[in-house]
Amino acid sequence: AANEVSISIDAKKAGPVINKNIYGQFAEHLGTGIYEGMWVGPDSPIPNTKGWRNDVIGALKKMHVPLVRWPGGCFADEYHWRDGIGARESRPVKMNTNWGNVEERNAVGTHEFFDLVDLLGADAYVNGNLGSGSAQEMAEWMEYMTGDGKSTLAELRRKNGRDKPFKVAFFAVGNEAWGCGGNMTAEYYTNLYNQTVSFLKAPKPYMPKIIASGGHDDDTTWTDYLSKNIRTRVDGISFHYYTLPTGNWSKKGLAIGFGEDQWISTLKNTLRMDTMIKNNVAKLDKNDPKNKISFDVDEWGTWYDVEPGTNPGFLYQQSSLRDAVVAALNFNIFHSYAGRVRMTNIAQMVNVLQAMILTEKDKMLLTPTYHAFEMYVPFQNATALPLTIANNPEYSFGGTSIPEVSASAARGQDGKLYLSLVNTNPNKDVSIDIDVAGEKLTAAKGRVLTAKTMDAHNTFAQPQAIQPASFNATAKAGKLTVNVPAKAVIVVSLE
Ligand code: AHR
């Protein structure tokens, strides 16, 4: 009976391009996400380039990070860009009031951030301060970064070591305006947005895409209101949704050592992303039928109780096989809305929430989430293909059920056909017949990420406890069947 599960792909009907920025990252001044985790400073004994750790940069390059959002998050609405330019030793010291009230020495500022994205070969997504800043301050930051004339601010940038304007690919006007970004109503935010964006100017080749700060979770009113009432430039409306095992912010659930009840509740909660995007996209389709405004999930990922013994303000958590499954389920959802969802940013890149990398002094490890991102690289800028799953079984535990199989298919930029498969059932493998209309398949070749336990994870003592393994299936009698192990993520090319 297991053989009855089947996936049909129509390789002739090309869907939208899966923008590589769907695989974007987020690096906030929070805990050890930037300081220690990535930035150690040029004088550190830890090998670095311009202050950025060589080991971490090398690993991030291998997963083809397309885009990095910075400096926050909540931090962005308290960040004053002038604090982060000029000689590092004379930069002001502030307190990071959102995240543990620790000292923020402003060692990483605009120039250091652009060094980071240059080293990664990534694009820059800068988040402006609407909450505690002014239209003037934001406009001047834009001029400092992008001015190509001889204005005092452009000359100041040159004096600080950067001749040519920085390329700001995206610029956001505030963050979570409904919460830490100023506790505003959508109406008040929209007025401020219109006012501020009227003064955000840059030479044409350097004009970033402008992102408005939108809603979260089940809310669609921000998307609706903003898309109807913004009168200035807007290229995207952002949206945030975090996956909590319990759904309860005061007791979120454990990162490791959880039971099957929290395995399934976590996956079920993450799958809610589908409905949230669908409902918001419906508003955009109505208010913006020409599809000019992108729907950008610029914060997503798992949020657990912090690792015992760590600063609760630092949001440091382990990442297990479950997180890789969460990431893959989200990727498959994002691909299915690729026509509207053109950027997302997982929270966050290093040492914070659902991180790619964890560090401890001069050591680092790659999390299962890193491996999921790296396995999905062929989907960056690939063309989505329609796919149907027939007879998808339900996986159930303790009264909760979710579909067992999640899948996505695309034509890669290399011309190959790629398929991702997730088996959400931690107890049972699933056999899937693969059919591509009009093509004779001989094999599936790629990699699988799985482990014996639901919370398998890497530690500094065992940094390779869980990593991808090669995976192959060969067609028999003209039929390609792929056996997906329990709790696994697979990415294969279909040959
Ligand atoms: O990613 C951590 C925080 O979550 C961000 O600073 C904020 O925007 C969100 O509430």
Whether ligand 1 lies within 6 angstroms of the CB of 299 is answered as: yes
User: Does ligand 1 lie within 6 Å of residue 345's CB atom?
Assistant: no
**Other CB atoms closer than 10 Å to residue 429's CB: what's the count?**
14
Cis peptide before 71 (omega within 30 of 0): yes
Interatomic CA distance for residues 191 and 225, integer angstroms: 11
Question: For residue 316, what pLDDT is reported?
Answer: 98
Q: Is 299 a catalytic residue?
A: yes
> Cβ distance 63 to 377 under 8 Å?
yes
The residue whose CB lies within 8 Å of the most ligand 1 atoms, and thus the one to mutate among 68, 180, 315, is 180
Which residues does residue 397 pair with via DSSP β-bridges, in sequence order?
400
DSSP state of 33: T
* Rounded Cα gap, residues 386 and 11, in angstroms: 8
Helix and strand numbers (H, E) in the chain are 9, 26
28 CB near ligand 1 (under 6 Å)? yes
* Nearest-atom index, ligand 1, CA of 26: 1
Cα gap 17→338, rounded to integer Å:
7
Strand order in the sheet with 469-474: 383-385, 405-411, 417-423, 488-494, 443-449, 469-474
3-state secondary structure of 241: strand
In angstroms, the CA 348 to CA 397 distance is 30
pTM for the full predicted model: 0.98
- For residue 189, what pLDDT is reported? 98
Reading the block at residue 377, the tokens are: 């690289």
Give the separation between CA 229 and CA 283, rounded to whole angstroms: 13
Q: In this predicted structure, what is the pLDDT of residue 180? A: 98
Contact 328, 376 (CB under 8 A): yes
Pull the structure tokens for residue 19. 């923008």
Task: State residue 87's pLDDT score.
Answer: 98
Rounded average pLDDT per 10-residue block, the chain, 495 residues: 80 95 98 98 98 98 98 98 98 98 98 98 98 98 98 98 98 98 98 98 98 98 98 98 97 98 98 98 98 98 97 98 99 98 98 98 98 98 97 97 98 97 98 92 97 98 98 94 98 97
Q: Which domains does the chain carry?
A: 2-10+385-494 (2.60.40.1180), 20-381 (3.20.20.80)
With 0-12 / 13-18 / 19 or more C-beta atoms within 10 angstroms meaning exposed / middle / buried, residue 12 is exposed
pLDDT digits (tens, 9 = 90+) for 226-252: 999 999 999 999 999 999 999 999 999
